[in-house]
Chains A and B, each alone.
Chain A
Amino acid sequence: SAVISQKPSRDICQRGTSLTIQCQVDSQVTMMFWYRQQPGQSLTLIATANQGSEATYESGFVIDKFPISRPNLTFSTLTVSNMSPEDSSIYLCSVGPEGGYTFGSGTRLTVV
């Protein structure tokens, strides 16, 4: 299965700023997924990112707040824009289903 390098692993950010999270995969994958995990909660899918097309966002998530790039088949970024304390969460990228689902190690974001 694929190996994902996700960074940063954690960050503390000021409200109103933006943070970009990167995921690098060691093999070419068609689909990448971005999830949010709020404190003490389960994972919620933010969007699906396919190379060469715009990301598909789930209900409750919008591109202006969570812009995603997918420049090639091994890399994707998620930006959390204009952050507020409510954005404090763990953000995870994932690839699948071909070859099985794999998750990055997560980015723990704290907005102060």
Chain B
Amino acid sequence: SQQGEEDPQALSIQEGENATMNCSYKTSINNLQWYRQNSGRGLVHLILIRSNEREKHSGRLRVTLDTSKKSSSLLITASRAADTASYFCATVPANAGGTSYGKLTFGQGTILTVHP
């Protein structure tokens, strides 16, 4: 079953604006990752944030993690038309071992459309 939910389900903005997507999860995690998927193709790993981190940056991406609320957000600044894609969060459970080792559980995803 899916770990959590993302909101909004769809987001439409103009080029240059910032885009914020949120992800909630249900169980304790080791880390949380964000992925991008273009037109139903393979996933591209964007950023990983560990459970003991609160904020992480990578280029125009900023990720926050609030383990007390079991939530994360992905901010894309100065968006471009090329950022148009689906964005998914995925979690690795805490103390994952045995058959849980390495498994990712995905959120429902946010469809981002950036208009030129």
CB of B45 within 8 Å of the partner chain: yes
Chain A 79-96 near chain B by CB (<8 Å), digits 1 or 0:
000000000001010101
Q: Which residues of A contact B105 (CB under 8 A)?
A: 45
Q: Which residues of B contact A1 (CB under 8 A)?
A: 45
B99:A56 contact, CB within 8 angstroms: yes
B104:A42 contact, CB within 8 angstroms: no
Q: Which residues of A contact B33 (CB under 8 A)?
A: 101
In-complex Cβ contact of B99 among A37, A48, A90 (8 A): A48
Closest A residue to B96 by beta carbon equals A97
In-complex Cβ contact of A42 among B99, B101, B102, B108 (8 A): B108
Q: Do A103 and B43 form a contact, CB below 8 Å, given A42-B2, A43-B88?
A: yes
Max chain A CB contacts within 10 Å: which of B42, B104, B105, B107?
Answer: B42
B41:A42 contact, CB within 8 angstroms: no
Minimal beta-carbon separation of A32 from chain B (angstroms): 9
Q: Which residues of B contact A105 (CB under 8 A)?
A: 41-42
CB of B103 within 8 Å of the partner chain: yes
Q: Which residues of A contact B108 (CB under 8 A)?
A: 41-42
Minimal beta-carbon separation of B18 from chain A (angstroms): 24
CB of B97 within 8 Å of the partner chain: no
B45:A100 contact, CB within 8 angstroms: yes
Q: How far is the CA of A96 from the CA of B102 in the complex (A)?
A: 6
Q: How far is the CA of A100 from the CA of B107 in the complex (A)?
A: 19
A6:B42 contact, CB within 8 angstroms: yes
Q: Which 3 A-B pairs have the closest CB atoms?
A: A105-B42, A103-B43, A43-B106
21 CB contacts below 8 A, A to B, read A1-B45, A31-B102, A33-B104, A37-B40, A42-B108, A42-B109, A43-B90, A43-B104, A44-B106, A45-B103, A45-B105, A48-B103, A92-B42, A94-B104, A96-B104, A97-B92, A100-B45, A101-B104, A105-B41, A106-B41, A106-B42
